[in-house]
A and B are shown apart, each in its own frame.
Chain A
Amino acid sequence: MKWLVLIGVLLLLVVFLGFGWGGRGQAAIDVVGSTSIQPFAEMLAQEFNRQHPDNVVEIQGGGSTAGLQAASNGIADIGMCSRALKQEEAEQFTAVTIARDGLAVVVHPSNPVEDLSLAQVKAIFEGQATNWKEVGGLDRPVRIITREEGSGTREAFMKLVMGKGRISRKALTQESNGSVKELVKHDPCGIGYMSLGLVGGELKALRVGGVPATEAEVQKGRYPLVRPFCFVTKGPPDVKARQFIDYVLSAEGQRRLKEEGLVGAR
């Protein structure tokens, strides 16, 4: 009996030590932050890891603000942020814009509304226009779907559309681009906003102020709702992090981002 316990304890020790050594052997570059950038970063990291087996990149979500926090206190080597940095943040971090992304205002495909002005989008999300017929649609209530407080997508939307206005209290709050998409896809009365690169074929992205929400229009600078995707580091990035950032900014990395529906950094 005693022997069994002893053997058990020894086994546990070996397992823990094994993990400890395994962990130290591969010091990964941790990239943490925006769930909007996450799928693109994962795609790039996969390719990067194939090319550089000695320099492993690991991507985690959590949100823009969490990404900035993680970069600031050293948990992450690189933070991902899907909005322009605020004044005080810009002083604290070194930021690189890796791509630009349109913010699409999405509705159910059966919704006859095609085009909204910025002011109309604002009125809808503020809760002033509560019926689709007020903006030229059918006689149906408007169901607003927003993102949670602290999301980069939400903050970009607030800055670009709402200004000082507040999003209506009646807005449904979802915690990822995916669940916003899921809701709008099944709700003929729904309206939400999400990364243009993630819209896909099942939703309708509205024209904003007459300009269609397409990469081409974002590229030309005509589509009004555009935000940067940034990699931020605390101080200048170290060699390993630099290597990944350089890969993302390289012709190949940028080409891959464009293929996925984003717009190049410059």
Chain B
Amino acid sequence: MKEKAIHVVLMLLAFSAIAALAVITAFIFKEGVPIIAKVGIKDFIFSSDWYPLEGQFGIFPMIVGSLAVTAGAMVLGVVLGLACAVVLTQFCPQGMVAVIKPSVELLAGIPSVVYGFLGVVILVPLIRDYLGGPGLSVLASSIVLGVMALPTITSISVDAFQAVPRSYREGSIALGATEWQTTHRVILKAARSGIVAAIILGMGRAIGETMAVIMVAGNTLDVPHSLLDPVRTLTSNIALEMGYSAGDHRQALFATGVILFVIIMILNSIALTVSRRRVRKGAAR
């Protein structure tokens, strides 16, 4: 009897987390979808005219902006994060791991406005002086976001590497493979699904980040043509204008949220299918 009661209570608690997700989703869609229908989905996504006070809502430059910034951040974050994880799990003495891993994870605890502030004060002037352009740019945002995604990617990849059974490594070395061949051909392959999870979570952090991006991205309404051009992302569009907006404008910001939601869903499912397909192919071989 008591057992059953606890069972029910735990079930309820578990579902309340999902209920929160469902309510948020329903609310965003309820607020955002009518305006998309009114403007027309094609115009909303592919028009570059964002003049909310004149009733023109086109978020194409921001979609491009979000994707560009996220892609840039992922290049940086994945390369550095994976390299860090490989070194930490394969080539590093235990004592150093005990120092390096917590310090990388500490990066996750720094508030995003501090990243943004450092970006504005240090990174932006460097880019403006040495590379040209206004400094506030795709590049600056990518670097800031890449660093922000680093702890997520590193620590989850480390866990994934550590979950690979020791016997794989020992077997590979016993067959005459070098340390690097073992890491590259065996450990990386075996830990693939964990690495994909790390990348997905890192990507989620990058595409959803708002405060730091507002500070370093420049927030123009133009489609960026180079790494040195400023951009506005979907999230910063919402945050910049939310306080002021009313009526259709407000709904259009919710609609921006809907698009962001859909983009994240698409990216996640692509990443998941890719990882699953590769695993299956690998098994067949």
Q: Which residues of A contact B (CB under 8 A)?
A: 62-66, 69, 143, 148-151, 166, 169-175, 179, 182-183, 186-187, 189-190
Contacts and interface: CB of A to CB of B under 8 A. Distances in A.
Contacts, number: 64
Contacts of B230: 172
B218 interface: yes
A261 to B, nearest CB: 25
Contact of A150 (B48, B135, B215, B241): B241
Contacts of A183: 136
A63 B243 contact: yes
B96 interface: no
B175 interface: no
A92 B220 CA distance: 34
Most chain B beta-carbon contacts within 10 A, residue among A64, A169, A182: A169
A31 to B, nearest CB: 16
Contacts of B249: 149-150
A63 B241 CA distance: 10
A172 B241 contact: no
Interface in B78-119: none
B244 A148 contact: yes
A186 B120 CA distance: 11
Interface string B148-167: 00000000000000000000
Contacts of A189: 134
A143 B229 CA distance: 11
Interface of B: 48, 51-53, 61, 120, 125, 128, 134-136, 214-215, 218-222, 230, 232, 240-241, 243-246, 249
B135 A171 contact: no
B52 A149 contact: yes
A187 B53 contact: no
B222 A187 contact: no
A148 B222 contact: no
A65 B214 contact: no
A169 B48 contact: yes
Nearest to B229: A170
Most chain B beta-carbon contacts within 10 A, residue among A64, A151, A172: A172
B215 to A, nearest CB: 8
A150 B218 contact: no
Contacts of A148: 219, 240-241, 244
A69 B218 contact: no
B220 A173 contact: yes
A187 B128 contact: yes
A1 to B, nearest CB: 16
Q: Which 3 A-B pairs have the closest CB atoms?
A: A150-B244, A173-B219, A65-B244
B226 to A, nearest CB: 13
Given A64-B244, A186-B125, 11 more contacts: A65-B243, A148-B240, A149-B241, A149-B244, A150-B249, A171-B221, A172-B218, A174-B219, A175-B214, A182-B120, A189-B134
18 contacts: A65-B243, A69-B246, A143-B134, A149-B52, A149-B241, A150-B245, A150-B249, A169-B48, A169-B61, A169-B221, A171-B221, A172-B136, A172-B219, A173-B221, A173-B240, A174-B219, A182-B120, A187-B128
Nearest to A190: B134
Contact of A173 (B128, B135, B232): B232
Given A169-B48, A175-B214, A186-B125, A150 B243 contact: yes
A261 B163 CA distance: 65
Contacts of B61: 169
B254 to A, nearest CB: 16
A155 to B, nearest CB: 9
Given A66-B244, A149-B53, A172 B134 contact: yes
A171 B219 CA distance: 8
A65 B240 CA distance: 13
A211 B218 CA distance: 31
A166 B53 CA distance: 11
Nearest to B215: A179
B243 A62 contact: yes
Most chain B beta-carbon contacts within 10 A, residue among A65, A143, A150: A150
Contacts of A143: 134
A173 B218 contact: yes
Contacts of B220: 169-173
Contact of B244 (A151, A172, A187): A151
